[in-house]
Amino acid sequence: MMIVLIMPVILLMLFGFAISTEINEIPIAVVVDEYTPEVRRDLTALENNPYITLTGIIEERDVDQVLRSGKVSAVVMMRDGKRNVVLDAANSSMSVSAGSYITSILRSGTTMPLSVTTYMRHNPQLKSAYNFVPGVMGLIFILICAMMTCVSVVREKETGTMEVLLVSPIKPIYIVLAKMVPYFILSLINLATILLLSHFVLDMPISGNLPTLLTLCVLYILLSLMLGLFVSTMALSQVVALLICAMVMMIPIIMLSGMMFPVENLPPVLKQISYIVPARWFIEAVRKVMVEGLSMSGILKEFSILCLMTIALFAGSIKKFNDRLE
Amino acid sequence: MKSVLPILMRKEITQFRRNKVLPRLVMMMPIMLVLIMPLVTQMDIKNISVVVLGEDRSLLSTRIESHLANSDYFRMPESAYDYNHAVELMDQGRVDLIVSIPAHFERDMRNGHGKPISLTANAVNATKGGQGIQYATQTIISAVTEIAAESGLSAEGGLSVEGGLITVQNRYNPTGNYRHFMLPALMIIVLLLVCTFLPLLNIMTEKEHGTIEQINVTPVSRWEFILAKLIPYWILALVMIGFAMLLAWAVYGLVPAGNPLNIFIGAFLFSLCMSGFSVTIANISNTMQQAIFVLFFFVIQFMLLSGLFTPISSMPTLAQWLTYAFPPRYVINIFRSVYLKGTLFTELWFDYTMLFILAAVFYTLATFTYKKQN
């Protein structure tokens, strides 16, 4: 299965490079009634700003049309010495930043000498990758590992070979382990490529110590394989098992793991739900180890929760595996 | 001659209804995505834990502190006695932002020189760090402006206050509700998942059970076979979008600003596209697991790279070019524009045309890859 080895690499590279919440090149248009020196100064300031792309000067009656068709995200109206910034606030989080960029540029002509210096601890260039690479790792590992193992048992059920396995004298624990070993080896190869790429190509730092990071990742892989196996023992058909692992699990993992949206903001009930999403703990721990440079003692909580989840899933699969005979 | 299409379609619908899991899953998806997930999509970071170190015991620094304390974005659960202590708290994760006001700041500011205020943010999460700094700067500026206005400083001290010279107006989403921005996109996820995974698994089941060969030896043409499989999903997709729109209206009070028909046309073209895409993948795969892997590979890209969660405009140029091949990109734009801005059909011609072209491409691929004999 070459795809299992190539897919994570392509996904990691794509997402690592492409996903970013940095806002730049905001397209804007300008309405001008008279070219006074102030207007010229503001126009140059807007033109020279790297975050803003000045697309052109338009008539006042076209303001609504250019905004509605999405050609620009903001229009600056310069009339009677006043400045009115009209924002396309459909994307409210982006428009807040766009608005504050533009007002600060317009203000800079009449600036106040208030000086503020800022320090971004752990991530001085504010790279989104520091945020997304652990997220993508958490997402890819769990889904791919679970998708690999989730058909293993249920396929035996569908083809009828399950009965043969059950009447054989082999203990279920060995069958379950044997089913995992090949996928575990595959996942280790994936882990190596993913870590190498994220460090050398995507410039992710590994500030903490490597053995801690590796232990954490291996534990997470085991957990993900167990999760797939557990789904496999529960599901009645391959279709259902695959649907659960590929489609149903994808949404909570993206939404509730802190990869896209901060977990702190979740409403209380959803926060409780997010506690059972393994990716949430993994992503948090990976960030701590890779970016903040904490050692094992710093991630003890996350690590032990992941351990408990793995054991619970393992016990669950063995139990389900045993009472399959009807 | 009587067409076999209705009969084949009846077979598909019966099979779908008999399935124990699928109908429930299809009902649950819009409820989960449209009802619950908008609560998650909150980009605004609130509850940023801030510590103010005021060596300057002036009116200004108390004012800055009280402005921060009164802001929705900040809370002050911790206190620190010096910068190193504050950084220690930050490393323990108890503080997100440190505002440090140097000694004699107010006096120096009046003279137009002196050390700046320093803001330190924990930027492990770049979004959170960046937003924290942005909000804090705005808060500080407003505190300083207020003090300046009160003491008449603006006249002599070079601190000018714009007195409403710059106004900002938010259009289309005046309350700045991020959920209204995400809701249309979440509806797309419903469509994306239903129109890809379900047809794919349907065809792959026939392949694995060997029933596809029985159909292949009948005089049913390949088009009739595929259409009979897909038409129920197209209808299902439209029903689900309608259902999701009702939910969005009932729960979040969101109704399209434009013509709802534009949304349905977009949704229909999109489901055409995606089902054609999944038929192509089904044709080239041998096992169900393999097919799911390939589909998953693409679907996850569609989800994360078509502007659903993060803006396309902030991607690198090369990646932006890639997204032109992603159907969700267009339909997301259609949904959001029509829903929030009331954009007209004619203004979105490019998106509709691209969806149509992509649908044509996928169906051509699907026909070429479908072989009646294996």
Q: Find out whether B162 and B204 touch, Cβ atoms under 8 Å.
A: no
- B165 occurs within a structural domain: no
Q: Which chain A residue shows the shortest CA-CA distance from B337? A: A68
Q: What does the alpha-carbon distance between residue B122 and residue B95 come to, in Å, rounded to a whole number?
A: 8
The H or E element spanning position A218 is helix A210-234
| Chain A residues with beta carbon closer than 8 angstroms to that of B305 | 14-15, 18-19
Instruction: Output the pLDDT for position A252.
Output: 87
The larger pLDDT score, comparing residue A36 to residue B113, is at A36
Domain A26-108 has CATH 3.40.190.10: yes
Q: What does the alpha-carbon distance between residue A126 and residue B200 come to, in Å, rounded to a whole number?
A: 41
> B183 and B328, same structural domain?
yes
The verdict on a CB contact (< 8 Å) between B118 and A11 is no
Q: Which chain A residue shows the shortest CA-CA distance from B297? A: A7
User: At residue B105, what is the residue type?
Assistant: F
> B76 and B103, same structural domain?
yes
The verdict on a CB contact (< 8 Å) between A3 and B160 is no
Q: Find out whether A40 and A84 touch, Cβ atoms under 8 Å.
A: no
The verdict on a CB contact (< 8 Å) between A123 and B129 is yes
Q: What does the alpha-carbon distance between residue B61 and residue B99 come to, in Å, rounded to a whole number?
A: 10
Q: What does the alpha-carbon distance between residue A104 and residue A85 come to, in Å, rounded to a whole number?
A: 12
Of B157, B185, B214, which residue constitutes the final position of a domain?
Answer: B157
> Rounded to two decimals, what is the model's pTM?
0.81
Ordered DSSP codes for B273-323: HHHHHHHHHHHH-SSHHHHHHHHHHHHHHHHHHSSSSS-GGGS-HHHHHHH
Q: Find out whether B295 and B305 touch, Cβ atoms under 8 Å.
A: no
Q: Is the ipTM, as predicted for this complex, more than 0.90?
A: no
Q: Report the length, in residues, of chain B.
A: 374
The verdict on a CB contact (< 8 Å) between B293 and A15 is no
Q: Which of the residues B147, B168, B180, B301 would you substitute to probe the A interface, choosing the one with the greatest number of A C-beta atoms within 10 Å?
A: B168
The larger pLDDT score, comparing residue B58 to residue A31, is at A31
> B206 and B58, same structural domain?
no
- B170 occurs within a structural domain: no
> B232 and B278, same structural domain?
yes
How high is the mean pLDDT of chain B? 82
CATH number for the domain that contains residue B102: 3.40.1710.10
- B166 occurs within a structural domain: no
Q: Find out whether A219 and A307 touch, Cβ atoms under 8 Å.
A: yes
Q: Which chain B residue shows the shortest CA-CA distance from A92? A: B176
> B313 and B269, same structural domain?
yes
Q: Which of the residues A72, A114, A284 would you substitute to probe the B interface, choosing the one with the greatest number of B C-beta atoms within 10 Å?
A: A114
Q: Report the residue from A22, A251, A265 with minimal CB separation from B33.
A: A251
Report how many helices (DSSP H) and strands (DSSP E) chain B contains, helices first.
Answer: 16, 5
The H or E element spanning position A82 is strand A82-88
| Chain A residues with beta carbon closer than 8 angstroms to that of B178 | 91-93
> B333 and B281, same structural domain?
yes
The larger pLDDT score, comparing residue B198 to residue B62, is at B198
Q: Which chain A residue shows the shortest CA-CA distance from B349? A: A69
For residue B250, is pLDDT > 80?
yes
Which strands make up the sheet holding A74-79, listed edge to edge?
A52-57, A26-32, A74-79, A82-88, B166-171
* pLDDT tens for each residue of A44-100: 888 887 778 888 888 888 888 888 877 888 888 887 777 788 888 777 767 777 777
| Chain A residues with beta carbon closer than 8 angstroms to that of B201 | 239, 242-243
For residue B8, is pLDDT > 90?
no
- B127 occurs within a structural domain: yes
Phi–psi pair at A110, nearest 5 degrees: -105, 35
Q: What does the alpha-carbon distance between residue A73 and residue B317 come to, in Å, rounded to a whole number?
A: 18
Of A134-138, A161-165, B97-101, the range with the lowest mean pLDDT is A161-165
Torsion angle of the four alpha carbons A17, A19, A25, A31, in this order, in degrees rounded to the nearest 10: 160
Under DSSP, the state recorded for B55 is: S
Instruction: Output the pLDDT for position B373.
Output: 52
> B136 and B180, same structural domain?
no
Q: Find out whether B159 and B148 touch, Cβ atoms under 8 Å.
A: yes
Instruction: Output the pLDDT for position A192.
Output: 92
Q: What does the alpha-carbon distance between residue B245 and residue B263 come to, in Å, rounded to a whole number?
A: 10
* pLDDT tens for each residue of B146-192: 777 776 554 434 444 444 456 667 677 666 677 888 888 889 999 99
> B150 and B260, same structural domain?
no
The larger pLDDT score, comparing residue A261 to residue B162, is at A261
Q: What does the alpha-carbon distance between residue B121 and residue B95 come to, in Å, rounded to a whole number?
A: 9
> B85 and B125, same structural domain?
yes
Which strands make up the sheet holding B97-101, listed edge to edge?
A116-121, B117-122, B97-101, B48-54, B74-75
* pLDDT tens for each residue of B9-24: 888 888 888 877 778 8
| Chain B residues with beta carbon closer than 8 angstroms to that of A111 | 160
Q: Find out whether A281 and A305 touch, Cβ atoms under 8 Å.
A: yes
Q: Which chain A residue shows the shortest CA-CA distance from B301? A: A11
Distance from CA of B2 to the nearest CA of A (A): 33
B254's torsion region: left (phi>0), alpha (psi -120 to 50) or beta?
A: beta
C-alpha separations of A113 from A116, B23, B60, B135, B162 in Å: 9, 64, 15, 19, 14
- B188 occurs within a structural domain: yes
Strands, E assignment, chain B: 48-54, 74-75, 97-101, 117-122, 166-171
The verdict on a CB contact (< 8 Å) between B159 and A126 is no
Number of domains in chain B: 2
Q: What does the alpha-carbon distance between residue A134 and residue A137 come to, in Å, rounded to a whole number?
A: 5
> B95 and B21, same structural domain?
no
A265: its two tokens: 């903001």
Could you list the residue range(s) of the whole structural domain that residue B62 is in?
48-157
Q: Find out whether B42 and B67 touch, Cβ atoms under 8 Å.
A: no
A164: its two tokens: 């043969």
Q: Which chain A residue shows the shortest CA-CA distance from B110? A: A113
Question: CB contacts < 8 Å between A and B, how many?
Answer: 293
> B139 and B180, same structural domain?
no
The H or E element spanning position A54 is strand A52-57
| Chain A residues with beta carbon closer than 8 angstroms to that of B337 | 68-70, 90
Q: In chain A, where are the structural domains located? A: 2-14+126-322, 26-108
Q: Find out whether B51 and B98 touch, Cβ atoms under 8 Å.
A: yes
Instruction: Output the pLDDT for position B152.
Output: 57
Q: What does the alpha-carbon distance between residue A129 and residue B174 come to, in Å, rounded to a whole number?
A: 31
| Chain A residues with beta carbon closer than 8 angstroms to that of B256 | none
> B179 and B108, same structural domain?
no
Per DSSP bridges, beta strands A116-121 and A52-57 are unpaired
The verdict on a CB contact (< 8 Å) between A117 and B292 is no
Place of tokens 């809701």: B183
Say what percent of chain A tops pLDDT 90: 18
Instruction: Output the pLDDT for position A217.
Output: 94
The verdict on a CB contact (< 8 Å) between A119 and B121 is yes
User: At residue B209, what is the residue type?
Assistant: H
For residue A19, is pLDDT > 70?
yes
